[in-house]
Structure 1
Amino acid sequence: MTMFVDRVVLHLQAGDGGHGCVSIHREKFKPFGGPDGGNGGHGGSVTMVVDPQVHTLLDFHYHPHVKAENGKGGAGSNRDGANGRQLVLKVPNGTVVQTPDGEVLADLVGAGATFEVARGGRGGRGNASLANSRRKAPGFAELGEPGDQLDVVLELKSVADVGLVGFPSAGKSSLISVISAAKPKIADYPFTTLVPNLGVVQADNHIFTVADVPGLIPGAAAGKGLGLQFLRHIERCAVLVHVIDTTTLEPNRDPLADIDALEAELAEYGGLVDRPRLVALNKVDVPDGRDLAEIVRPDLEARGLRVFEVSAATREGLKELMFAMAELVEQGRTAATPAGETRIIIRPKAVDDTGFTVEAESDGSFTVRGVRPERWVRQTTFDNDEAVGYLADRLARLGVEDKLAKAGANPGDLVRIGEREFDWQPTLYAGVDFVPGNRGTDVRLEEKSSRASAAERLAARKSRRVRSDDELGADGTDAESAADLDE
């Protein structure tokens, strides 16, 4: 049993970047060989590409969880980690990639169309790449950046020039089977067609594709029957053909009523008002059907519709219908062809764009948002004082601290960057590359801690009882507390 799937939810995970390596070159008689830690490899990305040989989303229906390969960590002797293998997902032509909320990320039309849906994380730099004239032997390296993790919805919208719409058992499948090489299932009961069928039609030197979608019934645009599930397959069609059954014996059914019902469903679905219409009054090989077609034809033509009396069984009127389809398809292709040279729109960044923002929250905290600050925080090892000092230097050079001060932040206020929270303290010696100290340490953090402990001791002494005048200095100051502040 064949299965057609045109909508799936994918859970994507791009590869994480490999960690950088902390290593010092060691060789006999060379005690100061310098840093030689290699960089981590980049994580693999998840990319979608249109493959003409793929016609359904069935594979993703059975395997909705997709994960790319992680990058390898760096090693000593300046050995960089390998990059994670990129994961390429082959999708059918006409696949729409969107978020679970309905935001369209990409519309993949045409063989070879490519979209990177999840980007792999950057590899962390090793200490060899972090060394400079001042920081000759860094005692830290960057962590690998996590890859993108997200859910996306894939919807397949058939790419066809002409869409055949009509009630169940109107003869759409029979019609496409005789004007093209398509071989859909044909039977004498409603909803025989459960999946869209595509056929290639040639009329003289014109070649175009025709889509036969499952039958529509009143309420299809609201989810009744199979209409809502497959109405998306006629969104791309340049021409719509109403296939009308002129021999139906159902009550309250006639060609005019059928067209009104179909137009109501198309209007309810939306986005199809501007498509040109043709009307194919099918099954005129039956005497009653031919009589009814002749009766309703003037009324349909009065509405501005081009009407064709056809029979899929005897192929009567099909040549004229095919040439009318080809004419409208060519008109649509000409109108869609851009005139003149391709316009390239350049949107440069503003001169004052710093690449990050600082927002004051209602609870008195501050949030820093930006690609670079958030990435730097993710790549920092916070149990390494030297790495923390390096992060502080980078944020200061970027202007984060200046912007926090202008936003009203005071020392000790809570600051969020990405998933991390900090009690903000202005950086000492902001902007310098490095203050010498033991590997893996930063004397600025030690000095800041020393100053904080001295201030705490001073506050504790002030909370004690007031000492007598003979305990104070000659100028009335507390000499011991002043000494604590100078430590």
Structure 2
Amino acid sequence: MTTFVDRVVLHMQAGDGGHGCVSIHREKFKPFGGPDGGNGGHGGSVSLVVDAQVTTLLDFHFRPHLKAENGKGGAGSNRDGANGRDLVIKVPNGTVVQSLDGEVLADLVGVGTTFEAARGGRGGRGNASLANARRKAPGFAELGEPGDRLDVVLELKSVADVGLVGFPSAGKSSLISVISAAKPKIADYPFTTLVPNLGVVRVDNHTFTVADVPGLIPGAASGKGLGLEFLRHVERCAVLVHVIDTATLEPGRDPLADIDAIESELSQYGGLTDRPRLVALNKVDVPDGKDLADIVRPDLEARGLRVFDISTATREGLRELTYAMAELVDQGRRAAPPAEPTRIVIRPKAVDDAGFTIEAEPDGSYTVRGSRPERWVKQTNFDNDEAVGYLADRLARLGVEEKLAKAGAQAGDLVRIGDREFDWQPTLYAGIDFVPGNRGTDVRLEEKSNRPSASDRLAARKARRVRPEDEVEAAPAAEADAE
């Protein structure tokens, strides 16, 4: 069983924020001590960080569900809840983070590179933080905001300067074992190498990495053999080296046919046509292999390829090959555009940007979209009328009520904010001065519950055959009589 995994699906969940606390200070001889409910702690976030000691995604294959710690709830005596601990996940260098539909979210290259995949929820404010001059002792607190939930695909693409490609048993593992300190498994049967091997090569003052890409056979790009699983590991290579077995006894095999077959698979995979190539004719220590190398060298050089006769057994020609690798890697590094310094771009919001939008749906309902309204709804305890009234005040101050009216919303229309649906009632008097009552209650909501529905008012109006404008003119007089 192989211990190398280079593609996994992770289910990440950031920590939820802790709920705020509703508490009133109680002390002997101080009956009106005021609110002292503390705030909830923030939930922990889930981050990915590149670690040099991690080389595979195997751990996540067995533990695909990852969750950060939730924030703690607030308490009385103005005690805030503790923040949840962040979850830091160590991944190999070259890990690509994608959404389930293939969108690249981050390409993690370089030790220490960090990506925050899921952000923890904010903690809810306690009633001590919600108190103001009008609402001196709030009977409610904010709920903690849920943390982000995200499913991502992690793909490992080896970060190497040189990629060794060729048929199974061509000698790629043997080559990387003699030019570097890598110790891959070597045997005399096909598909001995089941995982990519990385080795560091030093030539004079040049240092570069070499990757052995296993399993390339005709049809690999379409899923045959192991090539489809490992072709992604040559994407980052600046130089490709064809390792050719000149002493193979398989019928129908020769160096030119092998190179054509591998090039066909690389072409089908795509994106590798611009990489410089070298050809290493391996096993020239065998007499038949040396003769075949001499025969095919003119044809390969006629294609514009640099050809090297090598033997991993006797180490013949390895010095010349490694110097050629170092030369091409150095040329690629010099030709690469210089890294631009990180710039922080600040884009201030427009003066007329309210931070939300209202969309009229085909079914006659309205959807309010915006980070602040959606967050406020998540943090509202709808079992508490005072908390609902506070939400209405916040939405009115933001301008939601006004824009709904301009969009054509009528009393009783369905309005969606986040995952909540409301029957919009503009007669809630949102935004007016708060009239305090018992904690946890709101007089405006009581008036709303006792008030007839929009359909009942419409039926009564038709029964009386009163025009709407007459009803509007008669309303002030009725209110004066009631006073």
Cα distance in 2 for partners of 1:315, 1:12 equals 49
- Note if 1:194 corresponds to 2:194: yes
User: Partner letter of residue 438 of structure 1?
Assistant: N
User: Residue type matched to 2:121 in 1?
Assistant: G
Give, in angstroms, the shift of residue 334 of structure 1.
2.1
- Alpha-carbon distance change, 343 to 373 in structure 1, aligned in 2, over 3 angstroms: closer
Contact 2:412 2:453 in 1 (8 A): no
Structure 1 residue 357 displacement after superposition: 1.7
User: Which residue pairs with 1:324 in the alignment?
Assistant: 324
Map Cα deviations across residues 302-361 of structure 1 (whole Å, 9 max, x no partner): 222221111111111111110111111112222235167655544443443332221111
Tell me what 1:139 maps to. 139
Opposite residue 288 of structure 2, the aligned amino acid is: D
In structure 2, what is the equivalent of residue 353 of structure 1? 353
**Cα deviations across residues 36-82 of structure 1 (Å, max 9, x unaligned)?**
00001111111111111111111111111111111111011000011
Identify which range, 64-73 or 434-443, moves more after superposition. Answer: 434-443
The yes-or-no answer on 1:277 pairing with 2:277 is: yes
Task: Tell me: CA distance 1:433–1:245, structure 2 relative to 1, closer, same or farther (3 Å).
Answer: farther
Give the 3 Å change call, closer, same or farther, for CA 277–148 of structure 1 in structure 2. same
Conserved 8 A contact 1:14-1:45? yes
Change (3 A) 1:194 1:15: same
Match of 2:292 in 1: 292
- Bigger CA drift: 276-285 or 428-437? 428-437
Alignment-mate amino acid for residue 263 of structure 1: E
Corresponding residue for residue 249 of structure 2: 249
Equivalent position amino acid for 1:133 in 2: A
Aligned partner of 2:265 in structure 1 is 265
Q: d(CA) in 1 for partners of 2:317 and 2:237?
A: 22
- How many corresponding residue pairs? 476
Q: CA deviation at 1:459?
A: 4.4
| Alignment check: 8 A CA contact 1:380 1:387 kept | yes
Question: Deviation string for 1:2-41 (max 9, x for gaps)?
Answer: 5111111111111111100011111111111111000011
Distance change >3 Å, CA 445–CA 133, structure 1 → 2? same
Deviation by residue 1:232-276 (Cα, 9 ceiling, x = unmatched): 111111111111111223233221221111111111112212211
Matches within 5 A, 1:5-44: 5-44=5-44
SS class of match (2:218): coil
Does residue 182 (structure 1) correspond to residue 151 (structure 2)? The answer is no
Q: Deviations over 1:180-221 (max 9, x none)?
A: 111111111110100111111011110111001113011111
Q: Distance in 1 between matches of 2:346 and 2:29?
A: 58
Q: Distance in 2 between matches of 1:274 and 1:142?
A: 58
Alignment deviations for residues 368-413 of structure 1 (CA, whole Å, 9 cap, x no partner):
1111111110110111111111111111122222222222222211
Tell me the SS of whatever aligns to 2:97.
strand
1:392 is matched with: 392
Distance in 2 (alpha carbons) for counterparts of 1:421 and 1:22:
26
Aligned to 1:469: none
User: Alpha-carbon deviation of 1:285?
Assistant: 1.4
1:225 shift after superposition = 0.3
RMSD of Structure 2 on Structure 1 (CA): 2.6
The separation in 2 between residues aligned to 1:485 and 1:118, in whole angstroms, is 59
Q: How does 1:7-406 map to 2 (within 5 A)?
A: 7-338=7-338, 345-406=345-406
* Deviates further, 115-124 or 427-436: 427-436
Measure, in 2, the Cα distance between the counterparts of 1:34 and 1:277.
Answer: 78
Which range moved further: 425-434 or 300-309? Answer: 425-434
**Which residue number in structure 1 is paired with residue 441 of structure 2?**
441
- 1:432-472 deviation line (CA, Å, top 9, x unaligned): 4633222212222223334436994794597599xxxxxxx
CA distance in structure 1 between the aligned counterparts of 2:179 and 2:454, rounded to whole angstroms: 91
Question: For each residue in 1:261-304, what CA deviation from the matched residue of structure 2 results, as whole angstroms up to 9, or x when unmatched?
Answer: 11111111122122111111111112222222222222222222
Contact 1:10-1:152 within 8 A present in 2 as well: yes
1:352 aligned counterpart, secondary structure: coil
TM-score (norm 2): 0.92
2:373 is matched by which residue type in structure 1?
P
Contact 1:396–1:427 (CA<8 Å) still a contact in 2? Answer: no
Residues 347 and 302 of structure 1: is their aligned pair in 2 closer, same or farther, counting only changes over 3 Å? farther
* Deviation larger for 450-459 or 221-230: 450-459
How many percent identity over aligned positions?
86
Moved more, 411-420 or 245-254: 245-254
Q: Classify 1:22/1:296 alpha carbon distance in 2 versus 1 (closer, same or farther; 3 Å).
A: same
Structure 1: distance between partners of 2:346 and 2:335: 26
CA shift in 2, pair 1:339/1:454, >3 Å: closer
Quote the Cα distance in structure 2 between the aligned partners of 1:441 and 1:62: 50
Structure 1 position 482, deviation (Å): 5.8
Question: Residues 373 and 110 (structure 1 numbering): CA distance in 2 closer, same or farther, change over 3 Å?
Answer: same
Task: Please give the alpha-carbon distance, in whole angstroms, between the structure 2 residues aligned to 1:174 and 1:204.
Answer: 22
CA contact (8 A) 1:390 1:434 kept: no
Q: Name structure 2 gaps, 5 residues minimum.
A: 466-473
Shift of the 45–31 alpha-carbon distance from structure 1 to 2, 3 Å rule, reads: same
Question: CA distance change for structure 1 residues 411 and 484 in 2, over 3 Å: closer, same or farther?
Answer: farther
Contact 1:454-1:484 at 8 Å conserved across structures: no
> Normalized against structure 1, the TM-score is what?
0.92
| Cα distance in 2, alignment partners of residues 246 and 484 from structure 1 | 106
User: CA contact under 8 A between 2:54 and 2:91: conserved in structure 1?
Assistant: yes
Partner Cα separation in structure 2 for residue 333 and residue 438 of structure 1: 72
Contact 2:43–2:120 (CA under 8 A) maintained in structure 1: yes
**In 2: Cα distance, 1:458 partner to 1:484 partner:** 23
Query: Which secondary structure state, in structure 1, belongs to the residue aligned with residue 90 of structure 2?
Result: strand
State the SS of the aligned residue for 2:452. Answer: helix
Which residue matches 1:468? Answer: none
- The 3 A distance-change label for structure 1 pair 236 and 350 is farther
Structure 1 pair 83–232 and aligned structure 2 pair: CA distance change class (3 A): same
Q: Distance in 1 between matches of 2:275 and 2:338?
A: 19
**SS state at 2:198 partner:** strand
Q: Is the 8 A contact 2:220 2:226 kept in 1?
A: yes
Q: Quickly say closer, same or farther: Cα 1:166–1:454, change in 2 above 3 A.
A: closer
Cα 1:228–1:41 change in 2 (3 A) is same
Task: Work out whether residues 392 and 427 of structure 1, in 8 Å CA contact, stay in contact via their aligned partners in 2.
Answer: no
